Chains A and B, each alone.
Chain A
Amino acid sequence: MAAAIPQIDSVVQKRYMELVANFFKSAFDARNVGKKVVWMAYFLPSELCYTLDAVPFYPEIYGGVCARMGIVLKYIEAAESFGYPRELCSATKSAAGLALSGEAPPPDAVLSTQPVCDGGMKVHEFVAVRYKCPHFFIDMPYSTDARAVEYLKGELEEALKFLAESFGAELSEERLKEVMELSKRAEELHLEVNELRRKKPSPLLSIELFGQYFFPCSFLGGTQAAVDFYAFVAEEARRRLREGDVPEEKYRILWSPLVPQSFLSILQWLELEYKAKIVMEMVGYAPKIEMDAAEPLESLARKTLEARFPSLGNGPGVFNLDRYRKVVKDYDIDAVIYFAHWGCRTICSAVKMVKDMLREEFDIPMLVLDGDIFDPRNNPVEQARARVEEFFEMLE
């Protein structure tokens, strides 16, 4: 299958691709430089690893990179051949397939949790069993209140101790604070980029980061690389605004919740040809989070609970709807495209609730695109284009 990465002439995209390549290269190179690799569930905080000088490897995120490159199917099919059903989430299957293939950096430890879904939780257990490596389960609370933060703080502390013991490493409070200082800075700069994307017209395209503006602060949280990257993007956005070098914008779109990595041509077509600019992705939206490096674990608990998980369905649906309300207002959204990922009960269950709220409260239409975030077999491109054309014709 041919490489599927839709590249555009963008310094931001080039820099992002370098960042992602280096991030995964560090996991593949880890053993050679004497570092430990931790397989992490989607959106568990990378800061845990960086505190111990270990390297996080997110198999579902790497599956997304493989989907972009058009090579994910062999991992999905490996999982299906092993016994995972065709209907199961392709992100889960790509993680299982990576473990089965032996082509991913082998884990020295596994950290898992129950959000985004129980399939994701189980696949990490499977990875730990397959590689016979220590596994720690972080019990994620279902809300974001003070009690939940306190509870998760304890869970993260235990996870850190578990990793330190597993690796025979020393846990340094000083190092944790340093990591959290960088984490806090990356979150602040991410918010700054999000703020710049609110401008009309918005200076950045979603396709420039393949819809993953959350990537650096989620998976490189606690590193200088994440800080430098957001600073670069913010500066480029300001330059574009200053010089009037802003991509044309006919419609302002909220894409929700995840951007399909095997289906990026639809984003490119939307933004470049249709001038329907995706000014925010629901999973990339985050409120301002109170973070204090002097209280590192509490800050990390707050970030973990408040940043990305609620947009993917952790916590009550009402909380999720409030985020939609805020994004629609803050970003002056014209329409929402909801990508109902095949095999995801959480995402698909919320469709009606979100669509009705948008229509009743904002009179904003929502297009539901049925498809698959990674598996190209479930993404008929022409049908999706037809649906999008019909949708925009409706807006005219």
Chain B
Amino acid sequence: MIVAGVDIGSLTVKAVILRDNEVVATSTLITGDDAATAAKTAINEALKSLAERGMSVTLDSLDHIVATGVGRKEVTFAHEEKTDVRCDAVGARHIFPSVRTVVDIGAESCKVIRLSKKGRVEDFTANDKCASGTGMFLDVLAKVIGVGVEKLGELSLKAKKPAKISSMCTVFAESEVISYIHRKVPIENIIAGVHESIANRIFGMMNRVGVEKDIALVGGVARNVGVVKALEAKVGESILVPEGPQLIGALGAALIAAEACGTA
């Protein structure tokens, strides 16, 4: 039984292929302006890596496909679609069975999901109307600071005194960062300040739904160790981060697909 989950985010599309509940292939691509084509390409990319390992599977021969993410409705070839909340919950719970709070920080969205002891979604909240606290926020600020977004995490760990970023608005925060640069504030302090501002925003959202341990951080921003540390300091708890945190939504979708086939 081979199934796929595909997560169409605002920046990237992720695909996970499961064979008998084991992850056998994954892929991540830029979404672009055609979500359906991107989803198809992502699944085909993952299937190509399977073929290289001698497993010949085509898109049409997949037993079940579940789409999730902001562009899920565009994926007309999927057998069903599920919301990001459900898929994040299922994916995170699969990796960490004890998890009760899932924080997902993606390119343009952040969500906090509270789960029951049995893993049922009890409550959730999401950012609306504002991209602060998301990957896009980091992207904009990385460009201003002049370092690659993938280097932000490690650099911030060297900070001695994080700068105060008081504005929640990406545009105003950008001008604050620029003024710090002009004042020769060490770059690692500025980055750490940006991470703290993200942690503050996420912590507010976490409190809105109520925090239960264990806590997992998923989504692309979870790869930034500086954000993880800032959030841990704010929450006062250690935070679980899975390998490939950006794939958790797609993994959840694939697990739901497997369940639909009676194999999960």
Contact = CB atoms under 8 A, between A and B. Distances in A.
A370 B128 contact: yes
Contacts of A378: 129
A383 B128 contact: yes
B69 to A, nearest CB: 10
Nearest to A379: B129
B17 to A, nearest CB: 24
Interface stretch (B119-127, B137-145, B168-176, B226-234): B119-127
Given A393-B82, A393-B85, A387 B128 contact: yes
Nearest to A391: B124
Nearest to B89: A394
Contact of B83 (A368, A370, A393): A393
Given A386-B70, A389-B83, A394 B129 contact: no
Interface size band for A: 10 to 19
A390 B83 contact: yes
Contacts of A387: 126, 128
A362 to B, nearest CB: 14
B128 A390 contact: no
Interface in A343-369: 352, 359, 365, 368
Nearest to A392: B83
B86 interface: yes
Contacts of B120: 394
Nearest to A378: B129
A324 B112 CA distance: 26
B188 interface: no
A394 B124 contact: yes
B79 to A, nearest CB: 16
Interface string A97-139: 0000000000000000000000000000000000000000000
B129 A393 contact: no
A394 B87 CA distance: 11
Where chain B touches its partner, the secondary structure class is: mixed
Contact of A390 (B86, B122, B129, B208): B86
Contacts of B126: 386-387, 390
Nearest to B111: A390
Nearest to A394: B121
A292 B86 CA distance: 54
A380 interface: yes
A390 B124 contact: yes
Contacts of B208: 352
A390 B84 contact: yes
A170 to B, nearest CB: 53
B128 A394 contact: no
A389 B82 CA distance: 9
Interface string B41-83: 0000000000000000000000000000010000000000011
Interface in B227-257: none
A320 to B, nearest CB: 20
A342 B82 CA distance: 29
Contacts of B123: 359, 365, 394
A18 B120 CA distance: 47
B206 to A, nearest CB: 14
Contacts of B84: 390
Contacts of A352: 208
B131 to A, nearest CB: 12
B86 A393 contact: yes
Interface string B191-213: 00000000000000000100000
Interface in B68-118: 70, 82-86
A386 B120 CA distance: 19
Contacts of B70: 386
Contacts of B85: 390, 393-394
B28 to A, nearest CB: 22
A270 B83 CA distance: 16
Nearest to A387: B126
A380 B128 CA distance: 8
Contacts of B129: 370, 378, 380, 383
B185 to A, nearest CB: 31
A138 B121 CA distance: 47
A352 B125 CA distance: 13
A380 B129 CA distance: 7
A390 to B, nearest CB: 4
Nearest to A396: B86
A387 B126 CA distance: 8
B73 to A, nearest CB: 9
Contacts of A394: 85-86, 120-124
Nearest to A388: B83
Contacts of B83: 386, 389-390, 393
Interface in B124-180: 124-126, 128-129
A284 B146 CA distance: 55
A390 B114 CA distance: 13
Nearest to B81: A389
B51 to A, nearest CB: 34
Contacts of A380: 128-129
B166 to A, nearest CB: 18
Contacts of A383: 128-129
A387 B70 CA distance: 11
Contacts of A393: 82-83, 85-86, 121
Interface string A177-206: 000000000000000000000000000000
Given A365-B122, A390-B86, A393-B85, 15 more contacts: A352-B208, A365-B123, A370-B129, A380-B128, A383-B129, A384-B128, A386-B83, A386-B126, A387-B126, A389-B83, A390-B84, A390-B85, A394-B85, A394-B120, A394-B124
10 contacts: A359-B123, A365-B122, A368-B125, A370-B128, A370-B129, A387-B128, A390-B84, A390-B124, A390-B126, A394-B123
Interface of A: 352, 359, 365, 368, 370, 378, 380, 383-384, 386-387, 389-390, 393-394
Interface of B: 70, 82-86, 120-126, 128-129, 208
Pairs A-B, 6 closest by C-beta atoms: A390-B85, A390-B83, A394-B121, A370-B128, A393-B83, A383-B128
